[in-house]
Each structure stands twice: as structure tokens, then as C-alpha cells.
Structure 1
């Protein structure tokens, strides 16, 4: 690989991957703090801070930030997740110094202007409202909350309207000071990049990050499972049935990933073929497996009409349960091929590759070689894949549903159906 890694004296880490023949580059700053690092009185603060970073510094107004990067043909974006926050830019190679300067400016010298803060709170309230109006998004928030009740990892990343309206500049500044520290920060870049120049620029521009030890620890996640449903006048029931998955650090993580892909990751998967193609019970159905630093979530989502809920539930559960016993070599090969294509596709996009190497550094303190990952996937046996699925399905079920939910199975019925297979 052409990956290079440097740790500056401050603890700030820089990882780059030079991709030949490209003329553009992606660069981003990843902070090891997200929504699960918030205290009870900070719910939604990491997401608000991400928004406010673009609202002006002592050198640039919010409009200046947008105009400068777009004058160079680039773009800026950011995202808050459960365990980290990322700020990204995509630019021509020659404009890397500009991108780093803007990223450093917004992360070390934002003013958090009071008027901008009030306006941005309004924007976030609109965002929260949009989720409330989008059942296929909201059902996953309900699912997470039911899987991890009374825990930060289970709370919606956006926060609540009541809490967001109360945040002031001091709260934002305090969260930034506590969590936005050099030792918890990674700068990633991929494409037409010069590693040594990025290191020199980063050392000069990111001196404003605190060099104190990071305080990004969070309480261990405790998966419990549960049942939550909202009865609404909708044409479809939006359903998520899930179980405890695996941390991305688990030796069985890839086995459960393959299992999820095989049962519900594509048009040839069991869920798609049986639920949609053979029976026409749903337009949308797919399985998922999300890994976190100390836990994971596995399950499936489906949207179906009220009259089809009763039939869909046992059919979908039978697809999962039977796969844990009878998943075939051909199904496993297809799922493995999908995963490998997804992995290798990231090598063809500077933005995707930038995110990939930064996330790997955040998770493992190193970049995983593609040969290493492909070998882990290829070496999985059908028995390992089935066992990973069976282990997940034996955990306490979590049920979340919105719409006409009267015929959605309870967790006890879900568990009983799976035991009977």
C-alpha cells in the first residue's frame, strides 16, 4: 500500500494514501467523540457543535467559509455519528493548503456567534422534524433506543427539540474543550496528496487543538433488547427486528457481516427473494450489521402494508433462522464477493478511501491492508458464518415499528419463532 502514517508531537495523527493518476484529493478531520460521549445534559451537543463549526471564525464569516472553498471548486461537509465526528473537504490537489487552513480554522478558532447559534438551532429543529416525518428513519431511532435503553449509545444523534433549544455558547465550548483534543484527532487524506506537506501544514495550522489527554471515554454499552412501537395512520408498517451484534474488534465480526449480506444484502438474498420476489409482501427489505467499539446490532428492516404484516413476520424470521442452519456455500460466496467489491470500490474514490483509512486508524490504530481484509473474508468457513448468525439470533430480540403495528410480533413471539426452526 501507499499509506503513510505520522504522529505529531501533540499526539495528532495523520494518515494519507497517495492514489496515482488523480488530480483531486479528499481530506478530513476525524474526532473520536460522538453522541455516545455526551452526558445526559449534553444530548445533541456533538451534532450542534458540528453545525456551528461552519458558522464563522475570527478570520472568516460563515459566508466566507462557503465562498472560499467553492471559489476553488471544492466542497465542505461534516457528519456526526455515534462514536466520532468528521469534517471533510474535496478539492484539487493544489488547493490542499486552503482546505487544511479552513478545516483548522473552523475547529480551533470558531466564535460560536450568538445570532448564528440561534439560527442554527432552528435548522436542527427542522432536521429533527424531518426525521419525525420520515418513518423509515425514525424507526431506526426507536430501534436503537429500545436496544440500548437509558444509554447515550441508544439516543438519537440529533438530540431533542427541548434539549437543543437550551444549549448556549458555554456548553458548546465546554464540549469542544473536553473532547476535541489532538490525541483524539486524525487527519486523513487520499488522492493526489503529498504526505510530508500535509504533515507540515497540519503541525502549523492545528496548534490550537488541546494537547491534554483525551477525555472521550464513554460507559460500556449494555444491550438489553425491547419492544417499542408507534401507531400512526400510515399506508405501511415500518418494522425493524434486531439482535445484539458484534464489535468491529471481534474475531467473528466478518462472519456476521457475511451472514447479514447473505440473508438480506442484495437481490439474491433470502429475504429479498422470499419476502419480495416470491410473495410480494414488501417493496423494501434488507438486513444490516453495525459494529461499534464494544458492541453491535444485527437485524432487518421491512416496510409493508397493514394486511401483509401478519404474513411477513414469520416468513422473514424463518429466512433468518433457517440460514443459521442451512446457509449454502453458494450464498456465502455471493455475500463474500459483495463485501470484496465494496471494499475495493473504496480504493477508486479519494473520498471513500480517505474515510476508510481514517476510520481504521480510529478503530485499530493502524490501516488494514486490503489483502488482509480479503483474506479474513475468504478464509471464513460456512460453519463460522452460520454460527455467527445463530449466536446473534439467540440474543434478546429488539422490535421497533411505526404505522399499523397491531400484527407486528412481540419480542417473545420473535424468540419463540426462531427457537422453533
Structure 2
């Protein structure tokens, strides 16, 4: 397996990894535009555009797009994050040209017809409603708002009902023309392919795309804060966060080890103490969320309203104990988990395609797996203790709570 990278004359980048032992190809179009790049009045436009690109082009109807990819046993999909938007397909090795033709068609030739937009906005409003009705999902949107007040990175990816309703076909077409430019796009592919053939096809289908200018990203400011929403629910959902690390921060890998020890699996401190030993929550875990310029470290727990005030001191106690340093056993387990996760990600073509595309957008290069494993191995127990202590002593926390009971009493 070897990674190859080519940059076209218009600035579009192509990255691939050839695997002759398999019979499929995963290919994706990565656009360096996400929800954090939206003006407030257009909140939700990136996600809406992602939907609309599948609703018809100058050459194909929405039905044509669906039937053509499935006629060869393939599938297409897309997703929007705060940092970028991804359109991808997985097909048999002989169908790479079709996959690229479909992907280029939706990205370059979508009509964003007003009638289709009217229908799709209703679908998106249903999606927003479903998220609101799922407290263990929407609590993370609330946490993002609390952590990054009055910034685009803090707003919901799906948008708000009023901003989505106000979007027009002209808005979408203008946003598409301005942001979907060659300098903002990476084509990533993994599977049974030849890099030169991939480059030829991408040049043929995307070579006429204007270069444009790289995305300008407003630097995020972590603010911290608290949002509590009273609801009549069986559980109270609690998400808390502290300043974390960007992808490029020197402590990025140490933070991953810390998070894994604290709440990253069934052997973690939070799972063992909060769930197994005390039965205070069914779901409890820690997580990290990183971007190019910022990041957060967080904890989620879902428990009964009458158990929340008993659970919070237990979580805090485990965080304080870890600040005194991890044990040899848990430190070894955490690093093994992270290293195996890196290696396992190489085995699935779609996840590897995503990894290559994301790394090229963030670092403008592909990180060798050996380099990432080495950085995990160089993390020391002292590094973990230092990060744990900085989290415990931080005066800049964020918290989002949804549920019943005395929400004011739920605090660290």
C-alpha cells in the first residue's frame, strides 16, 4: 500500500492509496467548507446544500442519480461537519469512472431548483425536529453553543428552522459558486485503483473548476458557559467540556490518552466507577473534539434525575484522582487502544479514504501511520497527569443539561 498525492494546475488535490487485494474502491470529494464558515443569517446552508446536490443536475434527475449508482451495486452518501463537507461513493473496482462522473456532476452541475428546495427544506425541518426530540443528541449542540458563544463554530450544523426556511435557490447557487472551488477541494480514493488513472479522470471531470481562494476560517474563541433546559424526561442528560487541543497542538496525543483512561472504554475509570461499581448511569464516557485551531475535552453522562447530584461528585473525584497520575496498567491499556484504533482504521477502505481526505485538508499532507503511532508511544504518564491537572484546575468549563429534577444542583 502506497499513498500518492497530485495537485492539478487549478489547485485541486488528489490523494490515493492503491490496494490490489480487494475488489472495491471508496472515493470522496472533500470540500473545505463547513457550518463554521456560514454567516449567521445563512446558518444551515452548508447542510442544506449537501442535501440539494442530490436533487438533480443539468444531466440527471434525483431518481437518475440514485438508480445509476445502485444499478452497479454501489452507494453514495454525504455529510456535513463544522469544518467541511464530504460526498462519497463506494463501488466495484471497474466502476470508478461512474462514481467520479456522478460525484462531479452533483458538485459541478446541480440546479438547486426552487421546487426541489421547497420539498427538501421540509425534510430538513423534520431532521431538526428529530434532533430536538433526541436529548442525548441535542445536548451536544447545546454544549457547543455554551463553549463557543456567539460564533459560527458554536451554531448548529443543521441550522435553525427560521434560517432554513428563509434559504432560497439563489442563496444556494451563490454559496456553491463561491466556496466549491478547486483550492477548497480534495479528491480522496482508496481501493483497487491506479493513481494515474484516478488523476486522469479527475482532471477530465474537475479540471475546468476555477481555482478560487482557500477558505478563510475565523479563529475560534473558547468562551465557556452553561445551558440548562428543563424537560419532563426519564433521564437527565449532562455534557460538560473544557478547553482541549487542536489537531496540530503538541498535546493532542496526550489528550487522547488521558480521555481514553478517564472514560474511553469499559476499562476506563468512569465506566468502572460510575456504572459498574455504583450503578449511577447507563451511559458515561469522555470524548475529544478537535479542529484546525481549537478543541474541547468533554464528558457525557445520562442518569436519573434523582441520581445526578450523587453522580457528579464521583466523576469529579475520578478526574482529581487521575491528576495524581495514571497507574501503569491503565496507561498501557490506553496507549494500546489508541494504537490498535489507528491500525484498524487502515483496514476499511471508506474510513481510510476519510482519513486521507481529512489529513490533506488539515495538514496539507498525509500523516504516516508510523508517525502517529510513534507520537502515541512518546506520551508519558507525566504528560497525562499534567493534562488531567489542567482540566481539574480550569476555571473555564462548559455545561449543557437537559432533563428534569433540580438542574441548578448539577454542577462540578
Tell me the TM-score normalized by structure 1: 0.96
Match of 1:91 in 2: 91
Match of 1:311 in 2: 310
Tell me if 1:106 matches 2:110: no
Q: Is the 8 A contact 2:228 2:407 kept in 1?
A: no
Tell me if 1:372 matches 2:378: no
Tell me if 1:285 matches 2:284: yes
Q: Is the 8 A contact 1:289 1:299 kept in 2?
A: yes
Match of 1:418 in 2: none
Q: Which moved more, 1:67-76 or 1:334-343?
A: 334-343
Partners of 1:83 and 1:218 in 2: CA distance: 9
What is the correspondence of 1:221-300 to structure 2 with a 5 Å cutoff?
221-300=220-299
Tell me if 1:342 matches 2:334: no
Match of 2:353 in 1: 354
How many residue pairs get matched?
411
- Secondary structure of 1:10's counterpart equals coil
Partners of 1:409 and 1:288 in 2: CA distance: 24
Q: Is the 8 A contact 1:29 1:186 kept in 2?
A: yes
What is the correspondence of 1:122-271 to structure 2 with a 5 Å cutoff?
122-214=122-214, 216-271=215-270
Tell me if 1:55 matches 2:55: yes
- Secondary structure of 2:250's counterpart equals coil
Q: Is the 8 A contact 1:140 1:400 kept in 2?
A: yes
Q: CA deviation at 1:332?
A: 1.5
Tell me the TM-score normalized by structure 2: 0.98
Q: CA deviation at 1:394?
A: 3.3
Q: CA deviation at 1:390?
A: 2.3
Cα deviation code 1:199-245 (max 9, x no counterpart): 0110110135321223x212111101111010100000000011011
Partners of 2:391 and 2:98 in 1: CA distance: 47
Partners of 2:309 and 2:212 in 1: CA distance: 56
- Secondary structure of 1:136's counterpart equals helix
Could you say what the CA RMSD is over the residues aligned between the two structures, in angstroms? 1.1
Partners of 2:318 and 2:256 in 1: CA distance: 16
- Secondary structure of 1:326's counterpart equals coil
Q: CA deviation at 1:172?
A: 0.6
Q: Is the 8 A contact 2:25 2:190 kept in 1?
A: yes
- Secondary structure of 1:307's counterpart equals coil
Q: CA deviation at 1:409?
A: 4.8
Match of 1:4 in 2: 4
Partners of 2:32 and 2:409 in 1: CA distance: 38
Q: Is the 8 A contact 1:401 1:408 kept in 2?
A: no
Q: Which moved more, 1:25-34 or 1:334-343?
A: 334-343
Q: CA deviation at 1:324?
A: 1.8
Q: CA deviation at 1:331?
A: 1.1
- Secondary structure of 2:315's counterpart equals helix
Gap regions ≥5 residues in structure 1: 415-421
Q: Is the 8 A contact 2:47 2:80 kept in 1?
A: yes
- Secondary structure of 2:324's counterpart equals helix
Partners of 1:328 and 1:29 in 2: CA distance: 43
Q: Which moved more, 1:280-289 or 1:378-387?
A: 378-387
Match of 1:417 in 2: none
Partners of 1:167 and 1:39 in 2: CA distance: 12
Q: Is the 8 A contact 1:190 1:354 kept in 2?
A: yes
- Secondary structure of 1:300's counterpart equals strand
- Secondary structure of 2:323's counterpart equals helix
Q: Is the 8 A contact 1:145 1:154 kept in 2?
A: yes
What is the correspondence of 1:395-406 to structure 2 with a 5 Å cutoff?
395=394, 396-406=396-406
- Secondary structure of 1:306's counterpart equals coil
Q: CA deviation at 1:191?
A: 1.3
Partners of 2:26 and 2:135 in 1: CA distance: 33
Q: Is the 8 A contact 2:325 2:381 kept in 1?
A: no
Q: Which moved more, 1:307-316 or 1:202-211?
A: 202-211
Tell me if 1:121 matches 2:117: no
Q: CA deviation at 1:405?
A: 4.8
Partners of 1:402 and 1:43 in 2: CA distance: 23
